[in-house]
Structure 1
Amino acid sequence: MMADRVSSVAVCLIAAVAIFTALYLSSAVFQPLAFALFIIANVWPLQSRLQANLPKLLALAIVILITVVVFIAFASLVAWGFGRVGRSFINDAARFQLLYEQMAAWLEGHGIVLARLWSEHFNVGWLVRAAQGITGRVNTTMSFWLVVLVYVILGLLEVGGIKRKIGAMQNRDAARVLIAGTVATAAKLRRYMAVRTLMSLMTGVLVWGAATLMGLPLAPEWGVIAFVLNYIPFIGPFIATMFPTLFALIQFPTWQAALVLFGSLNIIQFVVGSYIEPRLAGSLLAVSPFVVLFAVFFWTFLWGLGGAFIGVPITIALLTYCAQHPASRWLADLLGAPDEEEDAKAPR
């Protein structure tokens, strides 16, 4: 009996390693598919309501048009905010270099030997090149989103047919898990996106206000950056806090003013992320913070910047499907708080 269990665990581990290796090596195929499924989960209710009163293709055209308009507006906002801040960093490169040399000299004067080692591998030129690289990456993702759009169109056309095929499966237990899991996952992803968007807007407005009150240049741009980066848990808020603080060090006359800005931004991130958001999301989206952090880093490793955004939705989807079957429910109970009302309604 013990040998069989060990063999089963070994097989599961080997299968998991093989799957994630395939996802890593085939990111160009699976990453746009993951984004497309996420978008379909969010826009399907609109598509369903429209096609109840309009021809299916007309309803699809309206949904795709709305999706494209929203995407273009979001992309334009991102390009505007990051572009202006990036150009400002490049223009002030000499001042950043001077600030860096002063900090390195201060650290060495206090016996921190890492400062010299750091200076051999890092300078402001590296920071400028990184900013340029991010800007260039943003400007070269059009082909990726075109593939996502094709997947979304085809997926919306196939939703009804796939549901009928699953309903006709002879394995009724598998059909129940697929249908219940898909419906629950789609609802949770819509709730996740709604809560995340509302919290991102709140964070962006508060950061904009704090930067304006402190007299920090480019306050609207810092608000936009905070809004965008808040979609990436943990990493995004950290970056949205550090970069304005770094910029403030060369703009404010004293480092104490920059420290006050740093504290204000952290208070905003803490209150919104740790107090308001959990109360809005409720137990429906409750996932262990450890699991969220692991998901962000793991999917960032697999798929880069896109993985940082889509990692948490993928984790929510996996845990939701696990909750639909008794054999895997323990994993959902362990890593994410179970939804008691949904569990009571789910057929056994």
Structure 2
Amino acid sequence: MEQQNQLLRDRLQTGFLGVIAFALLMFLLVQAKFILICLAIAIIIFSLTSDAIGAIARQRVPNWLATTIALLLIAFGLLWAAATVVSQINEVVTTSISYAEQMQAALPSLLEWLGPEAQETVDTIIRNINVTGWMRTAAGGASNLLSATVLIILFVGFMFAERVWFPLKIESLLSGDRASAAHVRQIITSIMRRVNRYLIVKTIVSGATAICVYGIFTLAKLPLAGAIALLTFALNFLPSVGSIIATVIAVALTYVLTADVGTTLAIAAACSAVQFAIGNVIDPMLLGQTLRLSSFGIILSLAFWGAIWGIPGMFLAVPIMVAIMIVCAHIPWMRPIAIMLSREGHPDDGMADE
């Protein structure tokens, strides 16, 4: 009897400590989200470019030279991307000010089928929009984006500097057990290759979708073609819901800019056709069985990381979910989690050949 009571106390103590650890983890994720988001993005960029640097170094190019060239290209690419986003934000703010009155007239009329009460509600909401506050928020977001870009570049640079020592550190952490160290490296390699392929395919698919949307807006001679294309490119990284949100925004913006139902319907049909063709034909064909993630799990991951880290968390949700599934698949007592996160209950499929 005494032994059973002791076992019960040990389980309660373990559960209590687990709750405390989870609460502390959530606290750290929220309080340090800026640094953690930058670190996660830096790890992804390092993963994407590490193999390329190794391939260049094998062509009799000094490792330090290949690393330096890669870091300079990454820094240039990130700064260019940040500058592009900032310029598009400025264009959106400027256009919003010039179309403010037209938006106040267009949106309520778009919802006239809901009745006068809905129109009045929408009209009240639009009139209460604080454009000045929105501009300040946009400016603050642009400043944070530039700060994050610099921090990501620093993180990537230090990762490249210590890239050679990672295998030795893993082996030292495992007390010199080479078999365990090789197993850990296999898990890390599996995560990197799955995430890398997913991101490369999604970048190609999202880029193609953004180019098509840009062409549609340009042919229709509508402003903000660049901003909508950039938004479409970013939102297509969100599985399931991203393409829907991008299409709804494009259609609503078209009606605000033109106040013409025919043009709006044409843009809606064109954007929907592009999203359907690329998202349901080309995307699955290129991705194949790379992820094998549960669709419901993806939605939960989007909601969870979106609640903790906001919009950046939603973009990082799928890579984080892939990493969690692979790690859990290699830990016996956590394998049920991997099974629940996988699409067909087989989280190991496709890992052996990676």
Instruction: Report the TM range for the smaller structure's normalisation.
Output: 0.7 to 0.9
Q: Per-residue displacement from partner, 1:36-61 (whole Å, max 9, x unpaired)? A: 11111111112223344333332221
Pair 1:35 & 2:41 matched: yes
Distance 1:226 1:41 in 2: 25
Letter in 1 for 2:295: P
Match of 2:318 in 1: 312
Match of 2:76 in 1: 69
Seen in structure 2, the aligned counterparts of structure 1 residues 280 and 259 have a Cα distance that, compared at 3 Å, is same
The answer to whether the Cα contact below 8 Å between 1:81 and 1:222 also exists between their aligned partners in 2 is no
Distance 2:270 2:131 in 1: 24
Q: Per-residue displacement from partner, 1:18-45 (whole Å, max 9, x unpaired)? A: 3122111121332222121111111111
Match of 1:332 in 2: 338
Distance 1:315 1:13 in 2: 21
Q: CA deviation at 1:153?
A: 1.2
Distance 1:268 1:81 in 2: 23
Q: CA deviation at 1:176?
A: 4.5
The answer to whether the Cα contact below 8 Å between 2:107 and 2:122 also exists between their aligned partners in 1 is no
Distance 1:272 1:296 in 2: 22
State how many pairs are aligned. 342
**Match of 2:332, SS?**
coil
Letter in 2 for 1:243: I
The answer to whether the Cα contact below 8 Å between 2:82 and 2:149 also exists between their aligned partners in 1 is no
Seen in structure 2, the aligned counterparts of structure 1 residues 104 and 71 have a Cα distance that, compared at 3 Å, is same
Q: Per-residue displacement from partner, 1:304-334 (whole Å, max 9, x unpaired)? A: 2322222221111111222223332332232
Matched ranges for 1:12-27 at <5 A: 12=18, 14-27=20-33
Q: CA deviation at 1:248?
A: 1.6
Pair 1:99 & 2:77 matched: no
Pair 1:56 & 2:60 matched: no
**5+ residue gaps in structure 2?**
none
Seen in structure 2, the aligned counterparts of structure 1 residues 114 and 217 have a Cα distance that, compared at 3 Å, is closer
Distance 2:272 2:340 in 1: 30
Pair 1:189 & 2:195 matched: yes
Letter in 1 for 2:84: L
Seen in structure 2, the aligned counterparts of structure 1 residues 176 and 328 have a Cα distance that, compared at 3 Å, is farther
Letter in 2 for 1:62: I
Q: Could you tell me the TM-score, scaled by structure 1's length?
A: 0.84
Match of 1:265 in 2: 271
Seen in structure 2, the aligned counterparts of structure 1 residues 25 and 273 have a Cα distance that, compared at 3 Å, is same
Q: CA deviation at 1:69?
A: 1.9
Match of 1:209 in 2: 215
**Match of 1:328, SS?**
helix
Q: CA deviation at 1:213?
A: 4.3
Query: Which shifted more, 133-142 or 181-190?
Result: 133-142
Pair 1:228 & 2:237 matched: no
Q: CA deviation at 1:64?
A: 0.5
Q: CA deviation at 1:256?
A: 3.7
Q: Per-residue displacement from partner, 1:224-280 (whole Å, max 9, x unpaired)? A: 332233234455434432332222214435324313322332332233223321221
Distance 2:88 2:318 in 1: 25
Distance 2:278 2:13 in 1: 46
Q: Could you tell me the TM-score, scaled by structure 2's length?
A: 0.83
Distance 2:102 2:108 in 1: 10
Match of 1:342 in 2: 351
Pair 1:162 & 2:162 matched: no
The answer to whether the Cα contact below 8 Å between 1:90 and 1:128 also exists between their aligned partners in 2 is no
Seen in structure 2, the aligned counterparts of structure 1 residues 134 and 234 have a Cα distance that, compared at 3 Å, is farther
Query: Which shifted more, 209-218 or 41-50?
Result: 209-218
Pair 1:179 & 2:185 matched: yes
Matched ranges for 1:273-284 at <5 A: 273-284=279-290
Q: Per-residue displacement from partner, 1:121-162 (whole Å, max 9, x unpaired)? A: 443734785466335412432222222222111112222212
Percent sequence identity over aligned pairs: 24
Seen in structure 2, the aligned counterparts of structure 1 residues 133 and 179 have a Cα distance that, compared at 3 Å, is same
The answer to whether the Cα contact below 8 Å between 2:103 and 2:257 also exists between their aligned partners in 1 is no
Taking only aligned residues, the RMSD between alpha carbons, in angstroms, comes to 3.1
**Match of 1:194, SS?**
helix
The answer to whether the Cα contact below 8 Å between 1:177 and 1:325 also exists between their aligned partners in 2 is no
The answer to whether the Cα contact below 8 Å between 1:99 and 1:250 also exists between their aligned partners in 2 is yes
The answer to whether the Cα contact below 8 Å between 1:97 and 1:124 also exists between their aligned partners in 2 is no
Distance 2:280 2:136 in 1: 32
Distance 2:143 2:238 in 1: 20
Matched ranges for 1:104-123 at <5 A: 107-109=114-116, 113-123=117-127
**Match of 2:39, SS?**
helix
**5+ residue gaps in structure 1?**
none
Seen in structure 2, the aligned counterparts of structure 1 residues 133 and 237 have a Cα distance that, compared at 3 Å, is farther
Q: Per-residue displacement from partner, 1:62-91 (whole Å, max 9, x unpaired)? A: 110111122133233333444323322221
Query: Which shifted more, 119-128 or 232-241?
Result: 119-128
The answer to whether the Cα contact below 8 Å between 1:199 and 1:272 also exists between their aligned partners in 2 is yes
